[in-house]
Amino acid sequence: MSILLKNCRYIITQNKQRQVIENQDILIKNNLIEKIGKITEEADEVIDCSEFIAMPGLINMHTHSSMNIMKGIAEELPFFKWLDKLIQTESKLTKKELYEGALLACREMIRTGTTTFNDMYTDLEQTVKAVKETGIRAYLSWGIVDEDKTNQKGNPLNNAENFIKQTIQENNKLIKAGAGPHAIYSTKPELIKQSKKLANKYNTFMHIHASETRKEVKDCYYNYNMRVIELLDSINVLDENTCLAHVGWITKKEAKIISEKKATVILNPTSNMKLGTGGNPPLPELLKYGANVTIGTDSTVSNNSLDMFEAMKYTALLQKHMRWDSSIITAQQVIDFATINAAKFLKLNAGSIEEGKIADLILIDLKEPNLQPINNIIANIVYSANGNCVNTTIINGKIKMKNKSYLF
Amino acid sequence: MSILLKNCRYIITQNKQRQVIENQDILIKNNLIEKIGKITEEADEVIDCSEFIAMPGLINMHTHSSMNIMKGIAEELPFFKWLDKLIQTESKLTKKELYEGALLACREMIRTGTTTFNDMYTDLEQTVKAVKETGIRAYLSWGIVDEDKTNQKGNPLNNAENFIKQTIQENNKLIKAGAGPHAIYSTKPELIKQSKKLANKYNTFMHIHASETRKEVKDCYYNYNMRVIELLDSINVLDENTCLAHVGWITKKEAKIISEKKATVILNPTSNMKLGTGGNPPLPELLKYGANVTIGTDSTVSNNSLDMFEAMKYTALLQKHMRWDSSIITAQQVIDFATINAAKFLKLNAGSIEEGKIADLILIDLKEPNLQPINNIIANIVYSANGNCVNTTIINGKIKMKNKSYLF
């Protein structure tokens, strides 16, 4: 199977030089980008891209897709009341509802230009079903929580191991399983350590919430005489295979620890703002210290959107606002967070449009007035577009949406 | 001419009780909403709305639409460097470019569900041309600036008066002219007073930037020994026919003055955040004191989007974030800002879907996955939708966009 993206008006390559190429073609063969340039070869499918921007598909680094079924049920509540309401509702959800939530989430992500997502949840079988049905790429971490704090049957660590084993056995190229210790307030340090060991045993990654709220930091200090990142470091779970969601309440010292240990940061600005956690990661310092920074939407019970274009704009604007400095972060940096930085953590051969890379890419409709006029294409992507300006979504060399209609 | 919106899945009425009605019809005759309910009458055009939400068209209360042609030219610059860059570029713009900027802006607003906008600019003739071509509703204030600070030919106050007279003479039902003294740092207090007198003479409104940056406040204090709102109050220009854009740096005392004088506040959260002005209006206090609060996008050189759905979400999230309180502002309040509150200031018989009101309304596509699932339709509008989920835009009883295609 081959696809020729003919005469792309712009290609945002995200290659090393961050080139934006004009009026060139992209040839996709099987699941790879075979060639970029002026291509005379024929292909099974040809798409006229003269009114499209081609760019790498976006990577949503923090979601809980099944929770999507609860979108809107817990509005305008303080954080811990909000969490209680969710946990109560969640305990009554059927497998069918979890599946429907995940399916709608996958549809929304494909519609809005996300080709890969990094999810944490229990009962991930329903998510797997939705992922297979839609053909999106997924990194799925089974939630590992203290037994007295969860409704899941059996031992959470064993459940996670079974899920990882089962995923390896199935060998679906779009799905990889990781370990998901929930957070320090729901998963004891010893269990977080065991979760990391589990991830290492299967040569995979760990995904954890860290320092999302002030209360989490305060309680951590009370219980362990350390801040959250310091605690995680003290149990040796920070390395290049660990990603930390939120980090809204970390110090510069913690930012340095994260960077030195090469753990990946996942910013969730929209979720933090909507929940009123007050959290705002020290992004300029994280970047100065060399941290790998990425972006997530969080689930739609706290955002309530899975649109990564929106999340990119919130990432930039929140920093500019909090530092009273419009130059503190650039549109190009934000696109890096949502593409190549995320791919680096996931060890995914994607995140840029280059020959030999996996064909995870999207076509954005220049006929949408949001994208006009074009004085600065990179600024237009981050500050003017939204996910519904995406016309076509290609994942692993397969067209999943074309002319804004699903092909699954 | 009559239009029957048949079987609307939801109608967000914005009536006094803020009712959301399900599965009812709306009959539009000429430019008015004639009837809401189960309607058996025939009509010239019938639209099946079983997969749509009908809601009042959004009102963008602060824009400079011609500046749209400069979108993206001054990214990531500090405020006053950004302003210099714009003024330099602006002086070289041709009438054709001003027209194209305004035309693209009108197209983007109609595409994203805005039916009325409140603009401030000089050379508004090009904006008028774009407004007439697209059929959007516009309130246009000619920019009045000290003569040594503007490129406009002739005396700005006279130019503004000529524009108001000409607009009254033309009697285009979609266009109303006002007076637009730019800001206290560009328009001397005496000229602001004369601008207000001009507005009063023609029974119209005044639109001014106020307290956008800390520097503006500091300089105001240095020059007049008063803060910005205090200065405007001291020259008697605050009343129910004055609207104040930004108010990012006002005290609670100033919030009280605004409220007592019944002036209207225009929040511009996205623009303030993107420019890194650090401004954040004391919204809870403004509401407590009874101020009329509305929302604007500002121009696309500072936002860079005219999507009022996006602006609604930023309005809510910025307040929740700054007060560490997710309950400080509700989705319903934000919709009020963008509809009925704005209509109240503009003395426009619209902003809600009720019998006898002008038919300025939009249909939102429930097939867009952003809008699913529906547990809380009001939350979905503010936190999950974006402007590109709008399917149909009706202004003054005329369909300007249908199935996401323009009809002009």
- By CB neighbour count within 10 A (0-12 exposed, 13-18 middle, 19+ buried), where does A240 fall? middle
- Which chain A residues are Cβ-neighbours of B82 within 8 angstroms? 326
Tell me the residue length of chain B.
408
Q: Which residue has the higher pLDDT, B267 or B86?
A: B267
pLDDT at B77: 87
The reply to whether B240 and B375 lie within a common domain is no
Question: Do residues A232 and A238 lie in contact, with contact meaning Cβ atoms separated by under 8 Å?
Answer: yes
pLDDT in tens, B278-288: 999 999 999 99
Amino acid identity for residue A401 in this structure: M
Domain that holds residue B316: 58-346
Taking only the tens place, the pLDDT of each residue in B154-213 is: 999 999 999 999 999 999 999 999 999 999 999 999 999 999 999 999 999 999 999 999
DSSP at B398: E
Q: Looking at this predicted complex, what is its ipTM?
A: 0.98
Domain containing residue B12: CATH number: 2.30.40.10
The answer to whether residues B46 and B148 belong to one domain is: no
Q: Which residues pair with A125 in a beta bridge?
A: none
Task: Examine the domain organization and report whether A182 and A306 are in the same domain.
Answer: yes
Residues 246-285, chain B, touching A (beta carbon < 8 A): 270, 272-278, 280
Please check whether residues B69 and B128 belong to one and the same domain.
yes
How many Cα neighbours within 13 Å face the side chain of B84? 5
Cβ-defined contact of B373 to A272 (cutoff 8 Å): no
pLDDT in tens, A247-273: 999 999 999 999 999 999 999 999 999
The C-alpha atoms of residue A36 and residue B288 are separated, in whole angstroms, by 59
For residue A320, the model assigns a pLDDT of 97
pLDDT at res. A87: 87
Radius of gyration of chain A (CA): 20
B111 vs A324: CB contact, 8 Å cut-off?
Answer: no
Contact B79 A326 (CB under 8 A): yes
The Cα–Cα gap between A252 and B281 comes to 29
- How many residues are listed for chain A in this entry? 408
3-state percent breakdown (helix, strand, coil) of chain B, nearest 5 = 40, 25, 35
> DSSP label at A395?
E
Residue A311 has pLDDT above 90, yes or no: yes
Q: What is the pLDDT of residue A80?
A: 81
CA-closest candidate to residue A56, choices A381, A331, A375, A347 = A381
Each residue's pLDDT tens digit, B131-152:
999 999 999 999 999 998 888 8
- Residues forming beta bridges with residue B6, ordered by sequence position: B48
**CATH at residue A92:** 3.20.20.140
Same domain for B174 and B239, yes or no, is yes
Which residues of chain B make contact with A84, given a CB cutoff of 8 A?
Answer: none
Give the pLDDT score at A152: 86
Separation between Cα atoms, residue A380 and residue A374, nearest integer Å: 7
B173 & B218 share domain: yes
Q: What is the pLDDT of residues A32-67, one digit of tens each?
A: 999 999 999 999 999 999 999 999 999 999 999 999
**Which residues, including other chains, have CB under 8 Å from residue B237's CB and lie 6 or more apart?**
B192, B193, B195, B196, B206, B208
Helix (H, G, I), strand (E, B) or coil at B344: helix
Mean pLDDT, all residues of chain A:
97
For range B34-38, the mean pLDDT = 98
- Say yes or no: B288 and B205 in one domain: yes
Q: What is the least distance, in Å, from the CA of B71 to any CA of chain A?
A: 7
Instruction: Specify the pLDDT at position B382.
Output: 98
Q: Which of B107, B321, B373 sits opposite A71 (nearest CB)?
A: B373
Domain shared by B332 and B357, yes or no: no
User: Percent of chain A at pLDDT above 90?
Assistant: 94
A184 Cβ contact partners less than 8 Å away, ≥ 6 residues apart: A192, A210, A216, A220, A228, A231, A232
Last residue of a domain, one of B346, B368, B392: B346
Is B136 an 8 Å CB contact of chain A?
A: no
Structure tokens at B236: 């008697």
CB proximity under 8 Å: A 307-336 to B: 307, 310, 314, 316-318, 320-321, 323-328, 330-331
Nearest to A108 among B69, B370, B374 (CB): B370
Going by pLDDT thresholds of 50, 70 and 90, the confidence category of residue A219 is: very high
pLDDT band at A150 (very low <50, low <70, confident <90, very high): confident
Q: How many domains does chain A have?
A: 2
Assess whether A246 and A263 both reside in one domain. Answer: yes
Q: Is A38 helix (H, G, I), strand (E, B) or coil?
A: coil
Report the pLDDT value the prediction gives residue B149, as an integer from 0 to 100: 86
SS3 labels along B45-107: EEEECCCEEEEECEEEEEECHHHHHHCCCCCCCCHHHHHHHHHHHHCCCCHHHHHHHHHHHHH
Which residues of chain B are within 8 Å of residue A303 when distances are taken between CB atoms? Answer: 383
Residue B304 CA, distance from chain mean position: 15
User: Which among A77, A304, A317 is the nearest to B327, CB-wise?
Assistant: A77
| Chain A interface test: which of B321, B366, B374 (most A C-beta within 10 Å) | B321
- Separation of alpha carbons B276 and A323, rounded Å: 7
Cβ separation B273–A321 shorter than 8 A: yes
Mean pLDDT of A9-28: 98
Using CB atoms and an 8 Å cut-off, which of residues 1-20 of chain A contact chain B? none
Integer-rounded Cα Rg, in Å, for chain B is: 20
Question: What integer pLDDT is reported at residue A40 of this predicted model?
Answer: 95
Please tell me whether residues A35 and A83 are part of one structural domain.
no
Alpha-carbon distance A334 to A378, whole Å?
10
pTM of the predicted protein model: 0.98
Is A208 in the same domain as A223? yes
Instruction: Please indicate whether, in this complex, the C-beta atoms of A384 and B276 are within 8 angstroms of each other.
Output: no
Longest dimension (CA), chain B: 67
Mutate to test the interface with A, among B318, B332, B372 (most CBs of A within 10 A): B372
B213: CB partners within 8 A, 6+ apart: B79, B248, B249, B277, B279
List of residues 6+ apart from A41 with CB closer than 8 A: A2, A4, A27, A35
- Chain A residues within 8 A of B320 when measuring between CB atoms: 273-276
Residues B315 and B362 in one domain: no
Q: Quick check: A300 and B324 CB within 8 A?
A: no
Among B68, B273, B324, the residue with its CB nearest the CB of A320 is: B273
